[in-house]
Amino acid sequence: MQLDAIEQFLDTFFKVERYNEDEQGGIYLPSARSIQRLGLALEPGDGFYEWVEAHNFDALFLHRPWKLELERLPPDVGVISYHLPFDECLTLGFNPRLADVIGMRNLELFGEKQSRPIGMIGQVPNQDFTGLCNCIDEIFNGYEQIRAANQSEVLKVAVVGAMTDLLVREAASRGVNVYITGQLRQPAAQAILDTQMSVVTVGHYRCELWGLHTLASILQQRWSFVSTNCK
Q: Which domains does the chain show, CATH number per domain?
A: 3-83 (3.40.1390.30), 91-203 (3.40.1390.30)
Distance CA 144, CA 141 (A): 10
Question: What pTM, to 2 d.p., does this model score?
Answer: 0.94
Distance CA 96, CA 61 (A): 22
Query: Which residues in 3-13 are b (16+ Cβ under 10 Å) and which e?
Result: beebbeebbeb
Give Cβ neighbours of residue 220 (< 8 Å, ≥ 6 apart): 226, 227, 228
Q: What is the pLDDT of residue 152?
A: 73
User: Residues 102, 159: contact at Cβ < 8 Å?
Assistant: yes
pLDDT band of residue 149 (cuts 50, 70, 90) is confident
Give, as one character, the DSSP assignment of residue 116.
B
Closest CA to 101 of 230, 202, 229: 202
pLDDT tens readout for residues 26-74: 999 999 999 999 999 999 999 999 999 999 999 999 999 999 999 999 9
